[in-house]
Structure 1
Amino acid sequence: MHIAIDLDNTVLDATAAHVTYYNMASGKALTAADIQDFYIYRSYGWNREERDIVYAKHGHDIHWHSAPYPNAADMLQQLSLEHELSIITARPMLFRDVTIDWLNRHKFTYNNISFAENKLEACIAANVDILIDDAPHYAEEFARMRKPIILYDQPYNRAVTSEFVLRAADWAEVNRHIQRLATGSGK
């Protein structure tokens, strides 16, 4: 199978890193547990333009200092033995180098990487069979297209339900879903 994998809040904890730098920029003292919105900047009362200013200043550090989720790198290494793996991230190209350096530093295995805001389009173009992501809007898009998505559980995506949405709380659960899909034993 060809598996597409998101980065932020799927293989790594982006929320904690964003909160650290957003707190520095805002003077607030939020914690990752305070974040209940996919768009973290909304918790700071910022609009998109205000967020873009902070992100341009701190984005490199945010991405470099994000911690990988337990077992994510090992699981991708294992999956790479039987599947094609594509990283598809909505990160801006501005952060391409730090992203690749971070993946190498943490020994993540993948066949190719794409920086695309429209993940559905990128996945269709690359003939992806399944996406692993945390974003509720991507999960809904994939479900409407009747394409399976493994939704990495986050507080902001729990309202998303569909027979095509397979929820995973950790990378062992991600692996179990992939094994079932690969053997054709159900969604």
Structure 2
Amino acid sequence: MRPDKVLTIGIDIDGTVTSPSSIVPMMNESFGKDLRYEDCYEYNLANVYNITDEEFDQWLEDNGERLYDEAPVHGSADRILQSWHPHYKLVYISAREARHRDVTINWFSRYSIPYHEVDLIGSHDKLAAAKRWGVDLFLEDRLENALQLSQALQIPVFLFDTPYNQGELPSLIHRVSTWEEVHDYVERLSLRKSSV
């Protein structure tokens, strides 16, 4: 990266900017379960809730708008993203579908989440979008995405620790528990880049 280039940060939304546990109460309500966030040991919630992928897709079709509207902010994401906005380019790349743009932008506005770009790609394959936006690092909660992005782009990925993303990580993926940890990493990375 050239020293004069602004650091471009790719950011997932669900489970990264929003609390990763926010889907559980709604799914419990819909499927008559009493699961805890800690019981969500894999990303595919159809397996966790013992339903078909089609049933989950239909549930998301019916409840996505409410889920995206009611999700709480993940920790201090709002404050830290506000502090980054003047210094870095913030590009949100999400598996949400384009039809959920209004509810997404309204949620960002409600919580004063700043952005430069919001790319709702409707797929978990974020590689093409990350390349298109030229991201220098990525924030994610899905292990498969973190592995793909770090390997294909040779960029650091910060993986928010959840019950569903456990496993060995290669050196470019950094497991983090809080937004403060990510902030410290990004500040160090930014300082290193600017001194090159």
Q: Which range, TM-score by smaller chain?
A: over 0.9
Mapping for residues 1-187 of structure 1, pairs under 5 Å: 1-16=7-22, 18-116=23-121, 117=123, 118-145=125-152, 146-184=154-192
- Residue 52 (structure 1) shift: 1.2
- Residue 167 (structure 1) shift: 1.7
**Structure 1 Cα separation of the partners of residues 44 and 107 of structure 2:** 22
Unaligned runs of 5+ in 2: 1-6
**Structure 2 Cα separation of the partners of residues 41 and 182 of structure 1:** 39
- Residue 158 (structure 1) shift: 2.3
C-alpha RMSD over aligned residues? 1.4
Alpha carbons 2:161, 2:175 under 8 Å: kept: yes
What are the Cα deviations for residues 84-108 of structure 1, in whole angstroms up to 9, with x where unaligned? 0011111122322111111111110
Unaligned runs of 5+ in 1: none
**Structure 2 Cα separation of the partners of residues 21 and 130 of structure 1:** 32
- Residue 169 (structure 1) shift: 0.7
Task: Count residues in correspondence.
Answer: 184
Alpha carbons 2:93, 2:118 under 8 Å: kept: yes
TM-score of the superposed pair, with normalisation by structure 1: 0.93
- Residue 148 (structure 1) shift: 1.2
TM-score of the superposed pair, with normalisation by structure 2: 0.88
Q: Secondary structure at the match of 1:177?
A: helix
Alpha carbons 1:136, 1:160 under 8 Å: kept: no
Q: Residue type matched to 2:70 in 1?
A: H
Alpha carbons 2:20, 2:162 under 8 Å: kept: no
**Structure 2 Cα separation of the partners of residues 76 and 97 of structure 1:** 20
**Structure 2 Cα separation of the partners of residues 144 and 78 of structure 1:** 29
Percent identity (aligned)? 28
- Residue 77 (structure 1) shift: 0.7
- Residue 139 (structure 1) shift: 1.0
